[in-house]
Amino acid sequence: MSPDSISALRLSLQVAVAATALNALVGIPIAYALARRRFWGRSLVDLLVTLPLILPPTVVGYYLIVLLGRRGVLGAPLYQLTGWTVAFTWYAAVIAATVMALPLLVRTVRAAIESVDRDLERAAYTLGRSELRTALEVTLPLARNGILAGLVLAFARALGEFGATLMLAGNIPGRTATVPLSIYTAVQTGESAEALALVAVLTALSCLVLIAANRLGARAA
């Protein structure tokens, strides 16, 4: 494999790990809230979190540009304050992958939390545990396999993200060209051997991830 392909592979893993961590941080609380709480705007949150699953990645990418671009709703003030903009950096690839992976994580984790026996939570409450401690010590440990399966799926989705990444992060070799983008470039430029190597690596990784997710899912059920 060429140095560009190796750097693409390293970058992809880096982006997917970061996006999975962000998903855990943001997605698990959202999944818990959706599963266990009734609050104002709940269906809106549910809708927004699920949309990236349904929308074409390019549409998500477009929204991200409108939001985070140098002239974006959040991007413009950020640029004025710091002179820095997220577009065309590897952080942009992480954000795109995080948003695209979020629905998979939230849906899987939410289902896992919903299947936890509420009586066990109520028992914890009667023993004086707060909701936070109950969630951390009872609910989430019982939903562990579902959460792991969700994280594995999110990782796989982040690893394969193409459209939103291309729009927000561009396709810069060594900086934002992840494996899917490098495959696209390799095919466009007729480097079939390079494309084949990357395709094989990505397929193998995805198979491993799916097997892991299935095992975890089987144990969860």
Partner 1 sequence: MRAIGRNLCVLGLVLLATAGSAAAQPITVSAAISTKDVVSELGRGFAASHPGATLLYNWGSSGSLQKQIEASAPIDVFISAAALQMDALEARRLIVPGTRKVIARNLLTVIKPADSRVDIVKPGDLLEARVGRIVVGNPRTVPAGQYAEESLRALGLWDRLQPKLVFAEDVRQALEYVARGEVDAGFVYTTDAAARGRAVKEAFRPAEDSYRPVVYPAAVVAGARQPALAAAFIDLLLSREGQAVLSRHGFQPPPAGTR
Choose between 128 and 190: whose C-beta lies nearer to partner 1.
Answer: 190
Residues 6+ apart with CB under 8 A from 139: 32, 36, 113, 116, 121
CA dihedral in degrees (14, 16, 22, 23; nearest 10)? -170
**What tokens were used for 66?**
């409108």
Q: Is 2 in the site for partner 1 (CB under 8 A)?
A: no
- Minimum distance, C-beta of residue 218 to partner 1, in the bound complex (Å): 42
- Minimum distance, C-beta of residue 194 to partner 1, in the bound complex (Å): 11
Choose between 172 and 211: whose C-beta lies nearer to partner 1.
Answer: 172
CA dihedral in degrees (60, 62, 68, 72; nearest 10)? -140
Provide the residue count of the chain.
Answer: 221
Q: DSSP of 27-70, one letter per residue? A: HHHHHHHHHH---TTHHHHHHHHHHHHHS-HHHHHHHHHHHHST
- Minimum distance, C-beta of residue 87 to partner 1, in the bound complex (Å): 5
- Minimum distance, C-beta of residue 32 to partner 1, in the bound complex (Å): 37
Rounded distance, CA 21 to CA 125, Å?
29
Binders of partner 1 in range 113-152 (CB under 8 A):
none
Binding flags for partner 1, 54-93, as an x/- string (CB under 8 A): -----------x---xxx-------------x-xx-----
- Minimum distance, C-beta of residue 170 to partner 1, in the bound complex (Å): 5
Rounded distance, CA 69 to CA 170, Å?
12
Binders of partner 1 in range 165-204 (CB under 8 A):
170-173, 185, 187-190
* Residue ranges that bind partner 1, judged by CB under 8 A: 65, 69-71, 85, 87-88, 170-173, 185, 187-190
